[in-house]
Amino acid sequence: MIAFLEGILEATDQRCIWLNVHGVGYEIFVTKPPSFQPQQSYRFYTYAVYREDSQQLYGFVTREERNFFQLLVEKVNGVGPKLALTLLSFFPMPQLCALLIHSDAAALAKCPGVGKKTAQRLILELKDCLKQAPKTTLSKKPSIYQDAMEALTVLGYSRQQAEALTQIVQEQSPQANTVEAILKQALRPSSLQSSRKR
């Protein structure tokens, strides 16, 4: 399994990028390919899809995005890699998490390829994943912090890491008063670095 690839971006099109890794070119499907600059160095955390007639790599600039993509593909019936990538291209990840947590099917259905039934399935199956996570002392905090912490565990953080990140946001950005705002602050590099020191 390829966990990540790091190299020089050779070219992009509307669906993917070509990454030169020590002379080997990898075609990687990414969100918003035109946003990447040719001849720049990038690291992509990857998810491989192997089928009888094809092999495809999907890449993300953060492990959290890759983990969320994996969750969409492996946990939600009817959501394949292409639709999962479309969702992450259409919605910033913190917003998508917030929509799922708040069961906003109407907003989810605005994404191309996501109808009403698929939106409801996304909410049902991913909220079930959130509910499986055990509660901690953070349950005494406002529900938006609890919801944000649950979203962070779905993205691959341990309960301890998720609690530390939400604690940092509560201390440093008390004005963050929605799940989406909390997640945006928690996923900033400075917050991630501070959480590792705790």
> How much is the average pLDDT of 82-90?
94
- Domains, the chain, in order of start with CATH, read 4-60 (2.40.50.140), 64-132 (1.10.150.20), 137-196 (no CATH)
Q: Measured between alpha carbons, how far is 91 from 107 in angstroms, rounded to an integer?
A: 10
- If one compares 130 and 129, the residue with the highest pLDDT of the two is 129
| pLDDT on residue 138 | 38
Beta-strand runs (E) in the chain: 4-12, 16-21, 24-29, 41-51, 54-60
| pLDDT on residue 93 | 84
pLDDT at 133 over 50: no
- If one compares 99 and 60, the residue with the highest pLDDT of the two is 60
Largest Cα span, the chain: 53
Residue tagged 């969320």 (tokens) = 68
